[in-house]
Copies of this chain bind each other. A is one copy, B any other.
Amino acid sequence: MTTSVEEAVTERAEGKPLGKRERTKINNREAILQAARDVFADLGYGATTVRDIIRRTGLASGTFYNYFRSKEEVFEALMDEGMRRIRPRLRAERIRSRTFEDFIRNALHAYFEYLASDRETFEVMRRNPNTVRVRMETAEMIAGFEEIREYMEEDIRNGTLPPVDSEYLMASVVGLAMEMGDRMIARDNVDPAAAAEFATALVLGGFHNLPVTGKAPAAPGGEEGGE
């Protein structure tokens, strides 16, 4: 028994029995990615070494390099994977949305739902003070953002959206969603629906339409009753 981190994947795609060699390859790759998720979350991206990752898999150090060229490439793979999962959802929302408003609402819902479901991956960007938060502009990421922007341009062309600066609009929505997403997953009660509501209201209607929290914060001194 050399190694391999046997686990699931006895599967077969379209009837192909899928030989042991290929199974192992898939499993090893997945094991490395999973280990990387764990270690990144534990130590932070900057502090983790390739060997920290590979150690958790039981594989030999050299094997790592059969799968990835570096720690960065693993990270890239993780980001890409995330993006590849979310893009179809956004595309689906795009299709079933009739208006720009609809699309924004649905897309934000999809995004926050996804984030909540795959929380683990995104804990890479920890909240620990003095930890570097990383983000990688992978090809898949850029394409994903551009796709969103493209939708906006379309809406501008068909008149659903006034001719605004689509790059800024895309960046705004993306930045807002990502930063809110970070906060969301840091909370004890992750509530993607609430986050999506909030973001949607802000983007679509300005802060006047934001959902109001239950408790108005305790009035400091003893002011007028107000409202």
Whether B206 pairs with A205 at a CB distance below 8 angstroms is yes
Whether A212 pairs with B162 at a CB distance below 8 angstroms is yes
Q: How many chain A residues touch the partner (CB < 8 A)?
A: 68
Which of these binds chain B: A8-16, A18-26, A31-39, A213-221?
A213-221
Partner of A157, one of B137, B165, B179, B217: B217
Whether A212 pairs with B130 at a CB distance below 8 angstroms is no
Given known contacts A163-B216, A180-B168, A183-B168, is B142 in contact with A137 (CB within 8 Å)? no
Whether B129 pairs with A133 at a CB distance below 8 angstroms is no
Whether B129 pairs with A138 at a CB distance below 8 angstroms is yes
Q: How far is the CB of A94 from chain B (nearest CB, A)?
A: 17
Partner of A182, one of B100, B171, B211: B171
Q: How far is the CB of A17 from chain B (nearest CB, A)?
A: 36
Given known contacts A134-B134, A178-B175, A206-B209, is B129 in contact with A226 (CB within 8 Å)? no
